[in-house]
Amino acid sequence: MKRKYERPMAFEETFMTNEYVAACWGVACSIDSANKVDKDHPTVNHTADHCGLDTNQHIYTNSKGVAVSMIEEGTDGLGNLTCNLYTDSTYRYSKRYSSVKPGNYIYWTTTSSDGRTWHHQGSVKSTYKNRPNHS
């Protein structure tokens, strides 16, 4: 059996990702300020171990680093709650996610399936201290 001689050649491959993994930013609710807003609603309470954690509210960004959505995940048995942004502490005028940047102080609400609404506020952080690559 004859073998065919092949000349040695080097090949170079370029790594290209096949999809974008969205970055996300964390927001801790300023629970003292938020509880003042919701003081007349005894069934609505802001706590340090839920909305007070910046790992519970996530702002997701697109491939250009622009904010596109926000969700609260670490609720007390309420499931994931969609967050609605507002321009200020009156919670009257909606704000676009695309205008949010790390370092901004923002106002948002979440509403449970039983109709209770929480009025949150807090500062946007670009990454989590212990999980800088979280997405």
- Residue-level pLDDT at 42: 87
- Residue-level pLDDT at 8: 75
- Residue-level pLDDT at 135: 46
Closest by Cα among 89, 92, 111, 102 to 33: 89
Closest by Cα among 98, 58, 49, 52 to 80: 58
- Residue-level pLDDT at 21: 54
Count CB-CB contacts under 10 A for residue 99.
Answer: 12
- Residue-level pLDDT at 104: 95
Residue 33 CA to residue 29 CA, distance in Å, equals: 9
Look up the pTM and report it.
0.77
Please give the average pLDDT of every successive group of 10 residues along the chain, which has 135 residues: 73 57 82 95 90 90 91 85 95 95 95 93 78 48
